[in-house]
């Protein structure tokens, strides 16, 4: 009987090893180490949790780790901001849910707060907020053009400890999310990035420099 059980287990282990070898990233490629780490962060299946309440429950250790992140309540619109050149952006006009909406992906990497400032100062908009699967798919296909592992959305965390909540920079309601597996509970950082592999979301340190998407 033991021999009968060992054979299926051995076969299962062999098949699993083949899949792991197939899916493993090729570390000898031209990608930078930062891109590789972001790529690994974005690996894993879609969890599909909507997190409609926007609440975030975390340990004190995670709170301490995020304490150095940007204070997102402050605004730096008075600072001198150089708007991106047209060739540094990609535009998308309208969507099935909002024909008057305009989206623009900025290929230049910026920290979260500076990205939001550029969206407001240069395009009279905000970092993009996402409220449905169809818009998430639209934004995902736009983000893929950056050839980067992640792009900034307008999602961020306000508050401390058990009072933390997710919000959008445009002030709209947090009523939808497509989190990567283990997110947002096990994530790090107070800002929300969309992964260009699968279109799922992850928390990321706001000081990270990423391309970003404005809506206006």
The answer to which of 25-29, 69-73, 128-132 has the lowest mean pLDDT is 25-29
Instruction: Name the strand (E) or helix (H) holding 167.
Output: strand 165-168
Percent of the chain scoring above 90 in pLDDT? 50
The per-residue pLDDT for range 11-31, each reduced to its tens digit, is 334 333 333 233 333 323 333
For residue 28, the number of C-alpha atoms closer than 13 Å in the C-beta half-sphere is 0
Residue 173 has pLDDT above 70, yes or no: yes
Give the C-alpha separation, 199 to 202, whole Å.
10
Residue 154 has pLDDT above 50, yes or no: yes
Residue 210 — pLDDT band, cuts 50, 70, 90?
Answer: very high
Determine the pLDDT at residue 22.
34
Give the C-alpha separation, 178 to 93, whole Å.
23
Determine the pLDDT at residue 33.
45
Q: What is the mean pLDDT of residues 153-163?
A: 90
Determine the pLDDT at residue 93.
75
- 46-215: which CATH topology? Mannose-Binding Protein A; Chain A (3.10.100)
- Check residues 9 and 169 and name the one with the higher pLDDT: 169
Residue 123 — pLDDT band, cuts 50, 70, 90?
Answer: very high
What the block records as the tokens of 57 is 């429950």
Determine the pLDDT at residue 85.
94
Determine the pLDDT at residue 162.
78
Q: How far is CA 116 from the centre of its chain?
A: 15
Alpha helices in 42-183 (DSSP H): 60-66, 112-123, 133-143
Residue 161 — pLDDT band, cuts 50, 70, 90?
Answer: confident
What the block records as the tokens of 3 is 């021999």
C-alpha closest to that of 178 among 112, 213, 130 = 130
What the block records as the tokens of 64 is 């301490």
- Residues whose CB is less than 8 angstroms from the CB of residue 173 and which lie 6 or more positions away in sequence, other chains included: 131
The per-residue pLDDT for range 31-58, each reduced to its tens digit, is 344 444 555 566 554 444 455 445 555 5
Q: What is the mean pLDDT of residues 175-184?
A: 96
Residue 150 has pLDDT above 90, yes or no: yes
Query: Collapsing DSSP states into helix, strand and coil, what is residue 128?
Result: coil
* Phi and psi at residue 28, to the nearest 5°: -90, 5
Determine the pLDDT at residue 92.
83
**121 in Cβ contact with 81 (< 8 Å):** yes
Q: Could you give the angle at the alpha carbon of 182 between the alpha carbons of 176 and 188, nearest 5°?
A: 90
**pTM attached to this predicted model:** 0.72
């Amino acid at each position: 009987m033991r021999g009968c059980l060992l054979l299926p287990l051995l076969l299962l282990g062999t098949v699993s090893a083949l899949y792991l070898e197939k899916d493993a990233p090729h570390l000898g490629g031209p990608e930078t180490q930062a891109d590789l780490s972001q790529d690994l962060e974005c690996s894993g299946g879609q969890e599909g949790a909507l997190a409609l309440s926007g609440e975030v429950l975390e340990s004190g250790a995670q709170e301490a780790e995020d304490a150095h992140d940007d204070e997102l309540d402050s605004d730096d619109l008075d600072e001198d901001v150089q708007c991106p050149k047209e060739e540094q952006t990609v535009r998308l006009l309208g969507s099935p849910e909002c024909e008057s909406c305009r989206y623009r992906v900025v290929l230049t990497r910026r920290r979260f707060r500076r990205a939001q400032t550029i969206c407001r100062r240069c395009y009279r908009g905000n970092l993009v907020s996402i409220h449905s699967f169809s818009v998430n798919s639209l934004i995902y296909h736009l983000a893929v053009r950056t050839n980067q592992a992640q792009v900034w959305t307008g999602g961020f965390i306000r508050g401390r400890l058990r009072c933390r909540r997710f919000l959008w920079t445009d002030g709209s309601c947090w009523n939808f999310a497509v989190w990567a597996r283990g997110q947002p509970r096990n994530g790090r950082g107070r800002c929300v990035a969309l992964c260009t592999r699968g279109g799922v979301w992850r928390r990321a340190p706001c000081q990270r420099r990423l391309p970003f998407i404005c809506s206006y």
